[in-house]
């Protein structure tokens, strides 16, 4: 009888857990899924390479962990968004641009949303650690025309 009662009780607890009627404590060794922070990135231009370009980011900070970047191209030409981890002492708007490629180095890339056509939206979810980052469009000349924004992970 004792064994049968223990089995019945165990099945009842499992059933209640399955339907969410009994909370599960994190200390019980059950991992909880964490939702990603959504960051809206809007890239744009009005005259292609003939004029200034923009990149706006909202919010420009997020907690460490999963971050979903939702990138919308409001411009007239193809754009992208690359996430680069900044090295100590480097600011987002003063990266060295290679004179031959007209691009910045991607040696510290942690992810990207590539080739976003005009009028389209694409997304990527990345797991980011605490630190300072820069978001750039690294198509030739776009960084120099203003397609960059600082981003902080706390």
* 107 Cβ contact list (under 8 Å, min separation 6): none
Stretch 63-82: mean pLDDT: 98
Say if residue 85 is exposed, middle or buried (CB neighbours under 10 Å; 0-12, 13-18, 19+): middle
3-class secondary-structure state, position 77: coil
Q: Is the pLDDT of residue 28 over 70?
A: no
d(CA 35, CA 118) in angstroms, rounded, equals 29
Stretch 114-128: mean pLDDT: 98
Percentage of the chain exceeding pLDDT 70: 79
Angle at 25 between CA 19 and CA 28, to 5 degrees: 105
3-class secondary-structure state, position 76: coil
Walk me through the domains of the chain, giving residue ranges and CATH numbers.
1-30 (no CATH), 33-153 (2.60.40.420)
Per-residue pLDDT reduced to its tens digit, 97-112: 999 999 999 999 999 9
Confidence of residue 124 (pLDDT cuts 50, 70, 90): very high
Residue 109 or 17, more confident: 109
Number of Cβ atoms within 10 Å of the Cβ of 45: 23
């Amino acid at each position: 009888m004792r064994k049968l009662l223990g089995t019945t009780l165990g099945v009842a607890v499992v059933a209640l857990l399955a339907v969410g009627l009994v909370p599960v404590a994190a200390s019980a060794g059950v991992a909880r899924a964490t939702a990603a922070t959504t960051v809206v990135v809007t890239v744009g231009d009005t005259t292609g390479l003939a004029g200034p370009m923009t990149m706006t980011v909202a919010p420009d900070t997020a907690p460490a962990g999963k971050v979903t970047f939702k990138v919308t191209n409001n411009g007239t030409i193809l754009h992208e968004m690359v996430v680069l981890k900044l090295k100590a002492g480097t600011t987002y708007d003063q990266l060295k641009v290679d004179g031959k490629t007209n691009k910045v180095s991607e040696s510290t890339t942690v992810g990207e949303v590539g080739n976003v056509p005009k009028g389209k939206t694409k997304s990527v979810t990345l797991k980011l650690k605490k630190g300072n980052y820069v978001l750039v469009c690294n198509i030739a000349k776009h960084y120099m025309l203003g397609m960059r924004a600082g981003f902080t992970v706390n």
